[in-house]
Amino acid sequence: MDWLASNWRTVLDLAVSHLYLAGVPLVVGLVLSVPLGWTAKRWSRTYFAIITSAGLLYTIPSLALFVVMPLIVGTKILDPLNVVIAMSVYTVALLARTVADGLTAVPDHVEQAATAMGYKGLRRLFGVELPLAVPVVAAGLRVAAVSNVSIVSVASIVGISQLGDLLVDGYNRVIWGELVTGILATVLLALVLDALIVAGAKVLTPWTRAAGGRA
Amino acid sequence: MIRFDGVTKQFPDGTVAVDDLSLTAPTGKITVLVGPSGCGKTTSLRMVNRMIEPTRGAIVIDGQDTARMDQAQLRRGIGYVIQHAGLFPHRTVLDNIGTVPRLLGWDRARTRERSRELLERVGLDARLADRYPTQLSGGQQQRVGVARALAADPPIMLMDEPFSAVDPIVRDQLQDEFLRLQDELDKTIVFVTHDIDEAIKLGDQVAVLRVGGSLAQVAEPAYLLAHPADDFVADFVGRDRGYRSLQFQPSPRLPLRSERTVVLGERPGEAGSAWLLVVDEHRHPVGWVEPGRVGDRPVEDADLHRGGTLARADGTLRGALDAALSSPSRRGVVVDDSGALIGTVLAHEVLSAIEDTDRPERDERDPVRGGAVDVAGEQA
Ligand SMILES: Nc1ncnc2c1ncn2[C@@H]1O[C@H](COP(=O)(O)OP(=O)(O)O)[C@@H](O)[C@H]1O
Ligand SMILES: [Mg+2]
């Protein structure tokens, strides 16, 4: 605890970077997953291709992705953007399927009613299908958030600072205080992000809590 | 007017769901499509708003071929009600009802006002406005479904087994209110059901489809019951069709006998017969008692036998016969339109009245509206 008392400013800075590196990709990945998931649902023939490639993306080791990212997108080697893009790829890998499944889970009679009333295109997606997919998508987003927070730690190896630095440094120099702080701070960050997603989903789905309150 | 003009639908897997269907649904009338499961009712209905495109033939609305109309625009002019209501779970009752007006670009205030008006119109409490669909009973959901379909006042309504998933008592209520609503609104309605009783009750015109999607017969309900075109239709309209057809026969002047009564809460007096009719202070019949069992004390609510139905003097022969058959005394109770007792009638007297009546003879190809569908069967 002595260690934390004298280094809390550094820890805070690292935590902010960590949040940025894990959180921004979450938003970017979600935005990209919507059209992908929608396509997979709309044209069932594309479902397999989209879901399989997304699954394969997730199997690429994070270190490899961080290292090759500058070669693919032409960024500098120490650019945090490399990590943001790579993490976005992982997020899409997890969420494309979630969005597709969430959209597919909209009850058939609701889809029919929407069609019969002349709902189509974006208005249908944003007015009917996505709102109903929120519970499923939020569940996927929670998994992606925790996964992102943990994977981002690896970026220390390619020189991008975040809470992972505490783990690497604490391990190398055998500073227990630093090591434990790194672990706890990472876990705490994951919990905070998770709580934010749960709260956001709650605000977006008042109707799920109305169930059962029949009078 | 909706005209099916030689319409065929063959699905990509080869199934012929609808086979050369030609049929006219007249403006302001209820046309019921009825038939066993899988006979192509839903497919036929969905071809009207082009949720399914016909393989051959055309569907023409007021002279306009639907194939040449803009799909979304066509649909917004057609109300559609389905079995499980298909309400949007994430929208409140009021927002569900306002869906089509919003799609048509109405502003929020006008939409809400219209939605509230419809909520009342379909018989729902204004307090339900801010509930979500999961907080409603099946019957209430179905009413919201009807209100939503009516919101933008479309001239046409398509209804696919809208009352099939609710319990029989609620269904009966919904049917009665639906008829009352249609009396005011005069929509052109195509109504799908597999229930012949519902078809007979609701239809101005009933089209019977057979499996394979071909039209077996189209006629007014009374004509259909009296003159099934073939064995399939005869079989489908059922064994009780003779009895059921009586509901289209207005009662002639029946020989009513006067009935000795006792007012609820008073003593029966000397026993004249095994059963004595009990009325309330307005002479509305409330049930029968056995004076022998009551003895010398006042008649209480618990003494009443309530099994008998009431027939209206201006009702149908079905109502009169049912009143006689359901009465424990075998004397059918007949009331006036205010519900007050006029007299009683015996089953054999109704039967002779039936024998004196002709069966309905009408030209099947000219299905104008038949006898009033007036079921005189309230519970006594
Ligand atoms: N999309 C489809 N593809 C193939 N066959 C279908 C499809 N939709 C319906 N059918 C078939 O068409 C026939 C008529 O179906 P439907 O119109 O739903 O009947 P109903 O509403 O009278 O029960 C059935 O045999 C059904 O299996
Ligand atoms: Mg059907």
ipTM: 0.84
β-bridge partners, A134? none
Q: What is the pLDDT of residues A102-144, one digit of tens each?
A: 999 999 999 999 999 989 889 999 999 999 999 999 999 999 9
Q: What is the DSSP letter of B257?
A: B
B108 — pLDDT class (breaks 50, 70, 90): very high
Q: What is the pLDDT of residues A177-187, one digit of tens each?
A: 889 888 999 99
Average pLDDT over residues A79-84: 87
Say whether residue B50 is in contact with chain A using an 8 A CB cutoff: no
Ligand 2 center to B173 CA (angstroms): 22
Smallest CA separation from ligand 1 atom 13, residue: B17
Say whether residue B22 is in contact with chain A using an 8 A CB cutoff: no
Asked whether residue B271 carries a pLDDT value surpassing 80, the answer given is no
Give residue B374's pLDDT. Answer: 38
Ligand 1 center to B12 CA (angstroms): 12
**Sheet order of strands, B341-346 included:** B341-346, B331-335, B309-312, B378-379
Each domain of chain A, given as residue ranges in start order, spans 2-203
Q: Which residue of B has its CA nearest to A121?
A: B72
Question: B residues 115-174 near A, CB within 8 Å?
Answer: 131-132, 134-137, 158
Ligand 1 near B273 CB (within 6 A):
no
Nearest beta carbon to residue A119 from set B82, B83, B103:
B103
Q: pTM for the full model?
A: 0.80
Checking phi first, is residue A118 left (phi over 0); if not, alpha (psi -120 to 50) or beta? left
Q: Where are the beta strands (DSSP E) in chain B?
A: 2-10, 16-25, 30-34, 56-61, 64-65, 78-81, 156-160, 188-193, 205-210, 214-219, 261-263, 276-279, 285-289, 309-312, 331-335, 341-346, 378-379
Count of residues making up chain B: 380
Average pLDDT over residues A137-165: 91
Q: Which residue of B has its CA nearest to A119?
A: B72
Q: Helix H segments across B156-301?
A: 168-185, 196-202, 221-226, 231-237, 241-244, 291-294
Say whether residue A213 is in contact with chain B using an 8 A CB cutoff: yes
B192, with CB counted inside 10 A (0-12, 13-18, 19+), is buried
Each domain of chain B, given as residue ranges in start order, spans 2-244, 261-357
Atom of ligand 1 minimally distant from the CA of B213: 14
Contacts of B158 in chain A (CB under 8 A): 116
Ligand 1 center to B19 CA (angstroms): 12
B360 — pLDDT class (breaks 50, 70, 90): low
Residue with tokens 């956001």: A200
B341-346 vs B16-25, strand pairing mode: unpaired
Asked whether residue B144 carries a pLDDT value surpassing 50, the answer given is yes
A213 — pLDDT class (breaks 50, 70, 90): very low
A212 — pLDDT class (breaks 50, 70, 90): low
Average pLDDT over residues B225-237: 92
Question: What mean pLDDT is reported for chain B?
Answer: 89
Q: Which CATH class is domain B261-357?
A: alpha beta
Q: Which of A103, A170, A111 is nearest to A130 (CA)?
A: A103
Question: What mean pLDDT is reported for chain A?
Answer: 90
Asked whether residue A2 carries a pLDDT value surpassing 50, the answer given is yes
A88 — pLDDT class (breaks 50, 70, 90): very high
Asked whether residue B280 carries a pLDDT value surpassing 60, the answer given is yes
Q: Which residue of A has its CA nearest to B131?
A: A210
The whole-angstrom separation of Cα B108 and Cα B98 is 9
Residue with tokens 């801010």: B130
Asked if B132 and A210 come within 8 Å (Cβ–Cβ), the reply is: yes
B378 — pLDDT class (breaks 50, 70, 90): very low
The whole-angstrom separation of Cα A87 and Cα A65 is 9
Average pLDDT over residues B50-63: 96
The whole-angstrom separation of Cα B37 and Cα B195 is 10
Q: Give CB contacts under 8 A, 24+ apart, made by B233-240.
A: B233/B208, B236/B34, B236/B35, B236/B36, B236/B196, B236/B208, B237/B196, B237/B200, B237/B208, B238/B196
B30-34 vs B188-193, strand pairing mode: parallel
Whether domain B2-244 has CATH 3.40.50.300: the reply is yes
Ligand 1 near B43 CB (within 6 A):
yes
Question: Among 1.10.3720.10, 2.60.40.1150, 1.10.1380.10, 1.10.10.60, what is the CATH number of A2-203?
Answer: 1.10.3720.10
Q: What are the residues whose beta carbon lies below 5 Å from ligand 2 (ion)?
A: B 42
B90 — pLDDT class (breaks 50, 70, 90): very high
Map residue A160 onto helix, strand or coil. Answer: coil
Asked whether residue B377 carries a pLDDT value surpassing 80, the answer given is no
Ligand 2 center to B39 CA (angstroms): 8
The whole-angstrom separation of Cα B318 and Cα B313 is 12
Say whether residue A128 is in contact with chain B using an 8 A CB cutoff: yes
Q: What angle do CA B23, B26, B27 make, to 5 degrees?
A: 145
The whole-angstrom separation of Cα B284 and Cα A96 is 68
